[in-house]
Structure 1
Amino acid sequence: MSRSTLFRDVVRERHSVRDFLPQPVPEDILRSVLEDAQRAPSNCNTQPWQTHIVSGAKLDALSKAILAADDAGHLTPDFSFDTSDFHGVYRERAKEQGGAYYQAIGVKREDRELRREASRRNLEFFGARHVALLFMPSVGDNVRVAGDIGMYAQTLLLSLTAHGLGGVPQTMLGFYAETIRQELGIDPSSKLLFGISLGYPDRDHPGNQYRINKAPLGESVIFHQ
């Protein structure tokens, strides 16, 4: 099997995992994944990612603090994000993804209470025993640095898949940036972009059974010759 085939397999196997088995990932495997992620490209090789890995009892305490902040309506995002800003095909794709997930886990659109419970699973890290919180320095309008963090995150996610693990990028965790900084003792100059819950996927969970379609190249790529 060629290297290109192996790469294609990893890319196509990667998906967002939204339920995890309870066992932690051994430290040597975590470090191997993070070493891979460290190879990600960045503008001028600045490597601006500041990754905080939270596990064990500290993870449980962090979840409790975030849930309390959510109950109090105490949202402290470093960067704005509102799904209502999506328009056209982007709104359609977002609705398709949300609908497919809720259908997979048996939550009806009109059941607001169950939908809220399902959403709050983000704040429990979907049962994962580790979360990677991706902080960054504030530089200019932050767009270039955020792009670097995205390349780092994708490299990390692909390495998780190659190691037989899984992860899910969670913008929602960024809504509680100040709570997370206080809980972990992180300097206010570090800005939280998003987090990635990670671990061993529960492959039998309904939320991990469905797959969402990707747009054909013609909708995203324009060739100039």
Structure 2
Amino acid sequence: MISKGIDPNTLKQETSTKIKQETAKNKQIPTLKDAYEFYKEKKALSSASLIAYDICINSYFQDWNNLKLTSITKKMVQERFSDLSKNSPAQANLSIKFLHALFNYCSKHYLNDKDELIITTENPAKIITQNNSLNRIKRRRTYVRSDQHHAWVKAVVTSSWVGEQNDDFRAYTNQDFLLLLALTGFRRNEAERLEWKNIDLKYGTITVTDTKNGEDLTITNG
């Protein structure tokens, strides 16, 4: 090496420095669990998204929680997607979309002290999303047609609900819930979270937080 003009001591120091830098960088790379906590803290997620993502992290990727993001490989993603698809194609799609979004966000927002990107590897979930390999889910076609509205309402209000025979007013909860959805257009989770404080009987209004935009929406009677 000396005969070629290479200082072995300098080379050794440079190699040692490089190893230390790589080690320090690797320590800064978050685990999947830590990345998700960071994602939740920084992103404004709806309650529905949080519930879905919690299922992904605590069920579908539970055994990956302590893995560094960069240690998750394309092969691992392919195998997990295949396994999840056997039970629920829709949930398999959700899990991959979640992983893809999480990795992308952390790649752009995890920085070291020099404002340099910590995660520079390719998103492993791209192998599914980029190749159009997500499961094809048939759209739901079941809905109440306009000519069926009368029959649907009649069926709802004349049905015998559990507890009705005992004069239990709670027996009509399902009936009221279905009519509320039909008359307001609320999403299921919006209606389920309603409290009496959201209802103004004097002015005939219901106020609910929009699950998509986070804004208060008021539904007025009539």
Which category of TM-score, normalised to the shorter sequence, fits these structures? under 0.3
Largest Rg, 1 or 2: 2
Q: Could you say which structure has the higher helix fraction? A: 2
